[in-house]
Amino acid sequence: MQVAVTFNGKKITKIQVVEYPTESGRDREINSYAIPTLNQEAMSAQSANIDGISGATYTTEGYQQSLQSAIDKANA
Amino acid sequence: MGTVFSIAADLGDGIEAAVARLHAIDATYSTYRPDSVISRMARGERVDYDAEVAEVLERCAEIEADTEGAFSARPDGRLDPSGWVKGWAIEEVSRLLSAAGSRNHLVVGGGDVQARGGSEAGRSWTVGITDPRHPGRYAAFVSGRDFAVATSGTAERADHIIDPATGRPAAGFASVTLIGERIAYTDAYATAVFAMGPERGLAWVEKRDGYEAYAVLPDGRTVETAGFARHLTG
């Protein structure tokens, strides 16, 4: 299992995602500026005020396309 | 496979310790690492494990008893306490952020959420619950302060919850979401309630103080416990 962390806080503007790769054993930064492909429906006015998402057990690979990823970027 | 943890916090000071903690938890409890304590125990090796591992196994046994076996640390016959460890890891991140001085943060790990305090300017934290029938859309929104949200379902990984009673994928919910105060118990209970199915599962949650449930059924109907509505927004 890999562990990746995204931090967004008011004082830190850059999103940093670290991944824990099983093979190299080192943290690395995932490209945090990839634009997620989201359908417009999901990005409704209401979802602009969402802080987190429950129910999407995406993998590190799926994260970049996830709604949570979009929220992290919007809040950074 | 990997799990992504997203952290929104008023203070970044605890992040480094939290990441180190996640790595340590992964090294000890991962069922994907053949050298982890749990993998070695699962193979029947004699392992000198510490008090923390003992505590994790104890919590799993407690929840297994509380849920009449719907939760199990041996979901497919082999030792796998992930059903507790995932939520507990999120709670550990939250604890370390608080220890470093954070009063307001939201930690999301693999779709499970722990909220502490509120978001900026006194606003509550708002969490979207994924619509299991239309991934990419939301089924509901909940908000508040100091709460946890866990969803068990088939939205992203089909049939990933095994009913320990039958050894087969659980059926009866498209997804079920539990709200509680702390994510470790909330997440483990969500897994158990999913395995119980709608009728037994929601009745079980109704009887537990501090927990509410919201479920989407395979045909799109939704059911919820009596107190769930007060968490709803939008």
pLDDT band at residue B233 using 50, 70 and 90 as cut-offs? confident
Beta bridge partners of B115: B106, B147
Distance between B65 CA and the closest CA of chain A, angstroms: 25
- A4 inside 8 A of chain B by CB: yes
With a cut of 0.90, is the ipTM above it?
no
- For residue B217, the SS3 value is coil
Percent helix, strand, coil in chain A, to 5, is: 20, 20, 55
φ/ψ bin of A55: left (φ > 0), alpha (ψ from -120 to 50), beta (otherwise): left
Q: Please state at what angle helix B51-66 crosses helix B183-196, rounded to 10 degrees.
A: 40
Q: Out of B10, B19, B156, name the one closest to residue A58 (CB).
A: B156
Q: Do A41 and B5 touch (CB under 8 A)?
A: no
B100 class by beta-carbon count within 10 Å (0-12 exposed, 13-18 middle, 19+ buried): middle
> What pLDDT sits at residue B130?
86
- Alpha-carbon gap, residue B64 to B74, rounded angstroms: 10
**Does residue A19 carry a pLDDT above 70?**
no
Tell me the pLDDT tens digit for each residue of B123-148: 888 888 888 888 777 888 898 999 99
- A15 inside 8 A of chain B by CB: no
- A74 inside 8 A of chain B by CB: no
**Does residue B179 carry a pLDDT above 80?**
yes
Percent pLDDT > 70 in chain B is 90
pTM of the model: 0.82
- Alpha-carbon gap, residue B111 to B20, rounded angstroms: 20
Higher per-residue pLDDT: B184 or A48: B184
Tell me the pLDDT tens digit for each residue of B156-173: 444 556 666 666 665 689
Chain B positions in Cβ-Cβ contact with residue A20 (cut-off 8 Å): 2, 22-23, 26
For residue B220, the Cα-to-chain-centroid distance in whole angstroms is: 23
* Number of Cβ within a 10 Å radius of residue B203: 13
Q: What is the mean pLDDT of chain B?
A: 89
Higher per-residue pLDDT: B114 or A67: B114
